Amino acid sequence: RRHLLDLESLSADEIVTLLDVAQVMKEATGGCRRKISLLQGKTCANLFFENSTRTRNSFSLAAKRLGADTVEFGSSGSSVAKGETYVDTAKTIEAMGVDWVVTRHSTPGTPHLLARELDCCVLNAGDGPHEHPTQGLLDLLTIRQHRGSFEGLTVAMVGDIAHSRTARSNIWGLHKLGAHVIVCGPPTLVSERWRELGFEVAHHLDEILPRCDVLNLLRIQFERQKARPFPSVHEYAALYAMNAARMKKARKDILIMAPGPINRGVEITPEVADGPHSVILEQVNNGIAVRMAALWLLAAADDAHRGIAPNSQE
């Protein structure tokens, strides 16, 4: 594959390869802190049409750890304001000689469109509520580091499933690797379609909590909910916030995860976010490792596609 667009279309073997390479990258760079210049001479362009702290900086650092150059594009301050289209903008950046385009956009399917229109590798950094494959991979890597494997694990994705690209990428990735996935949240934010697809759907966190090995706590995406009824922040926190009282009902070795950004006091309270079960900052560090793995594997596939020998500086 020359593109990373979603986890739904990847096989379990492809996902495991990405995780294995990410683990090697993490160890080879002393926890993603040192450079291993495997991809010197290549260039990564970050095209972000939505805000980001973790994904954007993490892709940028991953490329730099691999010795590649980076181009940072944000729609504000660019010629998008003069009417240039998404595809024309991407083609313009590609014409500057980039090897990977990393794209985030509010419209589902935009990375798939670029993969058809561009000749370089395309990586989805989040397309609206559809998918966020590198977030899914970094969550999987974090779980595997703590639990070893996915067989027999019960993982609950909790919160605003309807608008969460992180939820979708996790659900597909966890399912392919053998975990039992529970999709939990208010009925307004969890589609019954998940039940039809064979996943467990729950609306009461307190009922499922005692049998969960991992909770992944999602932010309510108010910015995507204009036409949809939703519980108030107060109601949501009462029913779904992971707090000290709920921690007492959880398994002793439960992993508390969140893709971030977190809203303290809404889906998670500070004592849980900063507590001993939380792996939120480990997830952030693993983000660099999985992005290094994705860039490296796609570059190798792209070189093979073009008939370029491995490690060549052509």
- In the annotated binding site, the residues are 54-55, 82, 104, 132, 135, 165, 219, 260-261
Position 11, amino acid: S
Q: In this structure, are residues 278 and 129 in contact, taking their beta carbons and an 8 Å threshold?
A: no
Residue 54 as a binder of ligand CP (CB under 6 A): the answer is yes
Q: How far is the CB of 56 from ligand CP (least distance, A)?
A: 6
In angstroms, rounded to a whole number, what is the distance separating the alpha carbons of residues 115 and 206? 43
* CB-nearer residue toward ligand CP: 102 or 250: 102
Binder of ligand CP out of 29, 46, 55, 286 (CB under 6 A): 55
**Shortest Cβ 219–ligand CP spacing (Å):** 9
- Whether 132 and 165 have beta carbons less than 8 Å apart is answered as yes
- Asked if residue 221 binds ligand CP (CB under 6 A), the reply is no
Would you say 221 or 243 has its CB closer to ligand CP?
A: 221
Site for ligand CP, residues 241 to 300, rule: CB under 6 A: 259-261
Q: Is the dihedral of CA 199, 185, 290, 211 positive or negative?
A: negative
Q: In terms of CB distance, is 190 or 262 closer to ligand CP?
A: 262
Site for ligand CP in 90-129 (CB under 6 A): 126
Name the residue nearer to ligand CP (CB basis): 55 or 110: 55
In the complex, minimum distance from the CB of residue 104 to ligand CP, in angstroms, rounded to a whole number: 8
Q: Which amino acid is at 61?
A: L
Which segments of 11-71 does DSSP mark as H helices, in order?
A: 12-28, 54-65
Residue 115 or 218: the one with the smaller Cβ distance to ligand CP is: 218
Shorter beta-carbon distance to ligand CP: residue 250 or 295: 295
| Per-residue interface string for the shown chain with ligand CP, residues 130-149, x marking contact by CB under 6 A | --x--x--------------
Which among 34-42, 54-62, 63-71, 84-92 is the span making contact with ligand CP, rule CB under 6 A? 54-62
Closest CA to 163 of 228, 100, 210: 228
Question: Which one of 37, 53, 107, 149 is in contact with ligand CP (CB under 6 A)?
Answer: 53
Distances (CA, A) of 250 to 140, 145, 270: 21, 20, 17
Among 23, 43, 52, 243, binds ligand CP (CB under 6 A): 52
Residue list for the binding site for L-aspartate? 82, 165, 219
Which of 220, 282, 215 lies closest to 246, judged by CA? Answer: 215
Among positions 181-220, residues that touch ligand CP (CB under 6 A) are none
Over 250-287, what HEC string results?
A: CCCCCEEECCCCCCECCCECHHHHCCCCECHHHHHHHH
- Pick 223 or 235: Cβ nearer ligand CP: 223
Can you tell me the distance from the alpha carbon of 165 to that of 67, in angstroms, rounded to the nearest whole number? 30
Enumerate residues 6+ apart whose C-beta is below 8 A from 42.
63, 66, 68, 69, 99, 100, 299
Binding footprint of ligand CP on the chain (CB under 6 A): 52-56, 126, 132, 135, 259-261
